[in-house]
Chain A
């Protein structure tokens, strides 16, 4: 039963929101490579959604382009979530390893990426009056991802539904704390660097005189 290849498992998981991830866990399946490809697709989706959308729907400010926000919104947020979720689940006796969390989180993002990319494509062949079709596709994709996501978290940690929701909420709090600490760290390092640089300048002036 369920002798699926890695690629077939991706389809199985996406099409069976309620037992797909349980099957994945039971079979100890799931591929890091596929998960990483999905994260790259997420990055591309973020770019496409902001830069390649149909002109009649959205005009991007083309005078400035900065790729850092896109990197943060895809790779950054994904990795941050995975790490924070792992950190939280160890406190809650969750069963998922870092690798498992990485894989199921990526798999559960597929409908969102697909819906949004299809929406981006449709925005080039539909006019504003037909916007409802695009919105429908994108909303379905997002809702599907939410269902998959909760199911994935539930399966990977073997939690009850309520505990899963609590874990997700706590993970979000942890992510905020992480970002705060990162900003703090960066600022402090900046201060230290400026301090060292000031000493260097001071010394070099004195040596020269």
Chain B
């Protein structure tokens, strides 16, 4: 009897739970938040919602491909492994919408379309009749101008440039140059190629920037090094350096910048680099022009923090963000992937925080070891090397409005962005940029008083000052003439009365004649 009762209540609970799950399906497995003007975390709306998780089993055609190979044995562990992804290390979506997954543990590149149907499988390469195999590859890039695939064959210390069918065109190896110290290892981890066909490599042992080759494979030098953080110790060293002799200087400790860990290239040829190290604050995110200088400094200062501010109290464990990957979206959004918390931080092209998504954990939308991020249209793909799969995030309605408004605003269409920003506030009253956007639109329409109100809510002192200046001018134009007129009339009346009183024509009850 009691067993039956228990079953009944369990069924009831299940029913309630499923109906609840249906009504709150938009709820994510993490708390969405954002940062306010003071750097305090405030709750926010989700800009992207986790849709599904794709592992090796969900890649259509991978099973057929593997089982069709000669010598396939389902019971053999090493064959079984090939049916899954194993410690995938990088993700790349090419211009023709193919997704390249670097399956590091299985030494192969799996290529699928955006619906996760297998379209290509690269594990063997044909190089002048010789067969090359990969050993723990970590990076991949497809050049949209020449269609060549570049693969970082990390443990084999080489970069393979091949066509879509795996015919190798060129192999890049450790540069034989005096600039590249020969005792250092050469383990290429990430690669990008620019319009001119120059190849940039992140190599683990190099802190001077990316190793750069021209398209003929000749070593050109290093590109876009980080700066050394100006800690007290380094400032002291710089001081001693200026007064030390040559011999003393040789014996002194050299200060070296931390090398960056990952990069991406946008359509205009700017390379964005990210530095993972959690104890360095300078140059964690850079936008480097072809000359090698960081142009992000024109819009932000050194104090700007990317990733979580300190302390990120929405997490139980406060850790410094470790940005491991960056991806540039279609409107120039920067998607930063934080390994420490498994979070994605989306910034607009002017480095204003738009959304924070993800978290650490085992549920959908959270990560154990997030290593790579890519975006395509309104989707964000995050690769997890411990969950061995890709999580898909789709932009929500709220995210759509914000993206639209931000895009209009950044292009200077303040008036047009007014409507979307108003809708953003309806969704999320904490969204500070919306108030700034509306304020700027009102400023353009010379509605200064309302603009002041919005800038005050956004706590934007400088913009408030501009609106206030306009408002004051309006007031002056309106009231200056009457006010001055009234003052002049009053002064004249008082003077005249004074003269009259002196002459004894009028007397006031409150004045007593001298001597009277």
Q: Which residues of A contact B (CB under 8 A)?
A: 55-57, 59, 61, 63, 125, 127-128
Contact = CB atoms under 8 A, between A and B. Distances in A.
B459 interface: yes
A55 B38 contact: no
Given A56-B462, A59-B461, 6 more contacts: A55-B456, A55-B468, A56-B468, A57-B461, A59-B459, A128-B462
Given A55-B456, A59-B459, A128 B465 contact: yes
B416 interface: no
Contacts of B464: 55-56
B472 interface: yes
17 contacts: A55-B456, A55-B461, A55-B464, A55-B468, A56-B461, A56-B462, A56-B465, A56-B468, A57-B461, A59-B459, A63-B38, A125-B472, A127-B465, A127-B468, A127-B472, A128-B462, A128-B465
Nearest to A57: B461
Interface of B: 38, 40, 456, 459, 461-462, 464-465, 468-469, 472
Nearest to B452: A55
Nearest to B456: A55
A59 B463 CA distance: 13
Contacts, number: 22
B223 to A, nearest CB: 41
Contacts of B38: 61, 63
Contacts of A125: 472
A59 B38 CA distance: 11
Contacts of A59: 459, 461
A56 B461 CA distance: 5
B81 to A, nearest CB: 54
Which 4 residue pairs spanning A and B have beta carbons closest together? A56-B465, A127-B469, A128-B465, A56-B464
Contacts of A63: 38, 40
A127 B464 CA distance: 10
Nearest to A124: B468
B35 to A, nearest CB: 14
A128 B459 CA distance: 16
Contacts of B461: 55-57, 59
A125 B473 CA distance: 11
A59 B40 CA distance: 16
Contacts of A61: 38
B467 to A, nearest CB: 9
A61 to B, nearest CB: 7
A133 to B, nearest CB: 14
Nearest to B465: A56
Contacts of A57: 461
Nearest to A130: B469
A55 B462 CA distance: 9
A63 B461 CA distance: 17
A60 to B, nearest CB: 10
A57 B469 CA distance: 13
B515 to A, nearest CB: 19
Nearest to B38: A61
Contacts of A128: 462, 465
A77 B464 CA distance: 35
A67 B469 CA distance: 32
A34 B84 CA distance: 86
Among A56, A61, A127, which residue has the most Cβ atoms of chain B within 10 A? A56
